[in-house]
Amino acid sequence: MTDNFLKAEQLSQKQFEYMKLTAEIMDIRKRGEKPLAFIRTYGCQQNVADSERIKGMLALSGFGFTDTPDDADFILFNTCAVREHAEDRVFGNVGALKNLKRRHPQILIALCGCMMEQEHVANRIYNSFPFVGLVFGTHALHKFPELMYRSLVDGGRVFERGTDDKKIYEGFPVRRDGSFKGWLPIMYGCNNFCTYCIVPYVRGRERSREKGVILSEAKQMINAGFKDITLLGQNVNSYGKTLENPVTFAELIKEIDGIDGDYWLRFMTSHPKDCSHELIDAIAGGTHISKHLHLPFQSGSDRILKAMNRHYDRKKYLETIAYAKEKIDGLSLTSDIIVGFPGETYEDFKQTLSLIKEVEFTSLFTFIFSPRKGTPAEKMDDPVSAEEKSKWFRELLDVQEEIAAKRCAEMVGTTERVLIEGVKEKTGELNARTSGNIIVELDGSSELTGTFQNVKITKARNWILKGELCK
């Protein structure tokens, strides 16, 4: 048994009773008409997965859903704190709700998610946005029905954050956004404390869901016709360490891969410090596991990696990549990068450039460093100007664009199995994705949405492929 072993709790019966009570109140208020909720989700897939649980609870509370805030009885923003830009967008959009509340005083406006776990943010909302009636952080998700009910009946403002950070709750009703592409959280929180990152502070300590619960949710999704399932965690490689019977991530993914059906299995995010050969072998030998590894390296400079508290160096990262390329045919690699970490020099940045040239990633998620209140990096000396950082950032994008274009051009003439994701509004073409997560556009009927098809790649336009359905 590990020190921090904890048993999952079921969402309490009391919460289901609150859902019923809310349904009754709303039925009276709306005189039998269905109340509507508008939910906007910012940030990563973890937030998307949480919103799907909130929507599940709202559906059991009698709510339907709308894309028009003006039609809503309940508006919720699920927020992200990872960069300043993300927070600014939320503040701007919440400010814009003031007039809506004036026009519809009955409307309940709520904020939840990562931003709300920061005390200074909750205080700012409390003081500057009096029309926000309900605020709850990531650790209060299991109490949402009760908090919602209290906001509706008390008339006062309800603020709840920062409790139960070590617990894990099961038994949420889930209303998934998609019917063939879905998210499956396998763990919550993070213990890594990279010096730039707010996530461990707003999501709490790392904790894993029981393997049996994950397997049964995966089976349900596959039986319901899901074709593309992404296992979610901030660092999936350390899955299972908090369980009574520890399981490795490689063992978990191999068991899920053993479920019969026609589907792809993905996962994110892998941390390079413990991306094991066992996991790479599992991808190589898997039936459903996508030949895609998202392995954020953040910086190519050892000095900066140390300052970031990442616990690997360039050499170890490149060794992992070399092993993965050797074992997995047709591997697609993607990564996250931060430009302009405090103290980074142009020499350090050039190490990042040389690493992306060496690895040849399919695509990159690139970010300029954003100081986060309460993290160690916020207090580090940061002498490089914002203009200079933007210049480096553009240089990085140019280099990557060339690499992505070259990688896509190499695929022309090959046949790829793709999942058709929908129709592009502008052109009427079908949008599809390869197992390596590369976008393919092709002509075809919208009825193919949600199906796997074989496609001949005919053209590459920068990092997007064009293809034709194989007869």
Binder of ligand SF4 out of 147, 197, 265, 268 (CB under 6 A): 197
Q: Among 26-34, 118-126, 174-182, 188-196, which window interacts with ligand SF4 (CB under 6 A)?
A: 188-196
Does residue number 202 form part of the binding site for ligand F3S (CB under 6 A)? yes
Binder of ligand F3S out of 72, 109, 141, 199 (CB under 6 A): 199
Q: Measured at CB, which residue is nearest to ligand F3S?
A: 43
Binder of ligand SF4 out of 66, 192, 276, 451 (CB under 6 A): 192
242 binds, among ligand F3S, ligand SF4, ligand SAH, none (CB under 5 to 8 A by kind): none
Task: Return the residues of window 65-104 that contact ligand SF4 according to CB under 6 A.
Answer: none
Binder of ligand F3S out of 47, 61, 235, 375 (CB under 6 A): 47
338 binds, among ligand SAH, ligand SF4, ligand F3S, none (CB under 5 to 8 A by kind): ligand SAH
Does residue number 194 form part of the binding site for ligand SF4 (CB under 6 A)? yes
Binder of ligand SF4 out of 135, 199, 359, 384 (CB under 6 A): 199
Binding-site string for ligand SF4 from residue 235 to residue 264, where x marks contact by CB under 6 A and - marks none: x-----------------------------
200 binds, among ligand SAH, ligand SF4, ligand F3S, none (CB under 5 to 8 A by kind): ligand SF4
Q: How many residues in total does the chain contain?
A: 471
Q: What are phi and psi of 196, to 5 degrees?
A: -90, -10
Quick one: 194 or 289, whose CB is closer to ligand SF4?
Answer: 194
> Is the bond leading into 269 cis (omega within 30 degrees of zero)?
yes
Three-state secondary structure readout of the chain: CCCCCCCCEECCHHHHHHHHHHHHHHHHHCCCCCCEEEEEECCCHHHHHHHHHHHHHHHHCCCEECCCHHHCCEEEEEECCCCHHHHHHHHHHHHCHHHHHHHCCCCEEEEEEHHHHCHHHHHHHHHHCCCCCEEECHHHHHHHHHHHHHHHHHCCCEEECCCCCCCCEECCCCCCCCCCEEEEECEECCCCCCCCCCHHHHHCCCEECCHHHHHHHHHHHHHCCCCEEEEECCCHHHCCCCCCCCCCHHHHHHHHHCCCCCCEEEEECCCHHHCCHHHHHHHHHCCCECCEEECCCECCCHHHHHHCCCCCCHHHHHHHHHHHHHHCCCCEEEEEEEECCCCCCHHHHHHHHHHHHHHCCCEEEEEECCCCCCCHHHHCCCCCCHHHHHHHHHHHHHHHHHHHHHHHHCCCCCEEEEEEEEECCCCCCEEEEECCCCEEEECCCHHHCCCEEEEEEEEEECCEEEEEECC
**Shortest approach of ligand SAH to residue 406 CB, angstroms?**
24
Q: Which residues bind ligand SAH (CB under 6 A)?
A: 82-83, 196-197, 199, 234-235, 269, 271, 296, 298, 336, 338, 367, 369-370, 372
Does residue number 233 form part of the binding site for ligand F3S (CB under 6 A)? no
Q: Among 130-138, 192-200, 220-228, 425-433, which window interacts with ligand SF4 (CB under 6 A)?
A: 192-200
**Shortest approach of ligand SF4 to residue 146 CB, angstroms?**
29
Does residue number 296 form part of the binding site for ligand F3S (CB under 6 A)? no
**Shortest approach of ligand F3S to residue 18 CB, angstroms?**
25
Quick one: 47 or 270, whose CB is closer to ligand F3S?
Answer: 47
Quick one: 188 or 263, whose CB is closer to ligand F3S?
Answer: 188
**Shortest approach of ligand SF4 to residue 266 CB, angstroms?**
17
Query: Which residues make up the interface to ligand F3S (CB under 6 A)?
Result: 43-44, 46-47, 80-82, 114, 198-199, 202-203
